[in-house]
Amino acid sequence: MAIAGEPCLSLRFNEPKECVAMAMINILGFGGSRRKGSYNSALLRTAAQLMPDGSRLEIHDISNIPMFDPEQSSNPPRTVMDFQDAIRKADGLLVATPEYNYSVPGYIKNVFDAASLPAERNPFPGKPVALLSASTGMLGGARAQYHLRQVFVFLDMIPVGRPEVFITFANQKFNENLELRDENSKELIRKLLFNLVSLSKKLKSPD
Ligand SMILES: Cc1cc2nc3c(=O)[nH]c(=O)nc-3n(C[C@H](O)[C@H](O)[C@H](O)COP(=O)(O)O)c2cc1C
């Protein structure tokens, strides 16, 4: 039975007038920075508008996740448990990170550390993930992305390889309302989202 508003995958052999509803692919986005005018937070909002048909992006606020404390790792704070649950439920993740001092800001690294424990609540293994970054510099956050990819190895996540989306000179590509005005950047983001959703779909229903 088709669900109203949902795209159809194929016609059933014995029910030619109905089609099988395709499962919606749910992507969880997080990152950005604590800065009010963050270009990386704006990137997540842009991505939400560019999601492929049959998928949606929910942006999770990580600003309330406290600094990871190993003493509390067997009994994480409520905000961390909610974040773990949201990741577990999502079919894939989209992370938008700034670059600080040639690496991942502590703010972003902290949420991976905090959510990875206790081991039985670690939602990361096997989770598809794609990366975005924007910086005012000429490498667009590339070094932060490569450092995060190293974290994904230990967490056993499945990163999307290409395209790499590094928004360089971000202050020239967003307008004063923090809307991305660069069509080439938008096209790259569209391709990255398409690849993330395709991978998430494949891993959700391998057949
Ligand atoms: C502490 C600090 C370190 C930074 N280091 C880098 C850097 O290594 N590479 C870079 O491209 N930009 C660097 N920047 C500039 C950021 O790219 C710029 O502030 C960007 O707007 C941050 O992302 P946001 O807009 O999401 O807050 C740095 C900024 C700060 C505040």
Residue with tokens 């956050």: 141
Confidence band for 206, pLDDT divided at 50, 70 and 90: confident
Cβ of 169 below 6 Å from ligand 1: no
Look at residue 4 and tell me whether its pLDDT is greater than 70: no
Strands 55-59, 92-96: parallel, antiparallel or unpaired by DSSP? unpaired
* Nearest CA among 27, 44, 20 for reference residue 204: 27
Q: Looking at residues 120-140, what average pLDDT do you find?
A: 98
Look at residue 124 and tell me whether its pLDDT is greater than 70: yes
Cβ of 97 below 6 Å from ligand 1: no
From CA 44, how far away is CA 133, in angstroms rounded?
Answer: 10
Report which protein residue has its CA nearest ligand 1's atom 29: 100
Residue with tokens 């704006």: 42
**Per-residue model confidence as pLDDT tens digits over 20-31:** 567 899 999 999
CA angle, 66 then 69 then 74, to 5°: 110
Give domain 25-204's CATH number out of 3.40.50.360, 3.30.70.890, 3.30.420.40, 1.10.1380.10: 3.40.50.360
The closest-lying atom of ligand 1 relative to the alpha carbon of residue 98 is 23
Look at residue 16 and tell me whether its pLDDT is greater than 80: no
Task: Determine if the pTM surpasses 0.85.
Answer: yes
The closest-lying atom of ligand 1 relative to the alpha carbon of residue 103 is 8
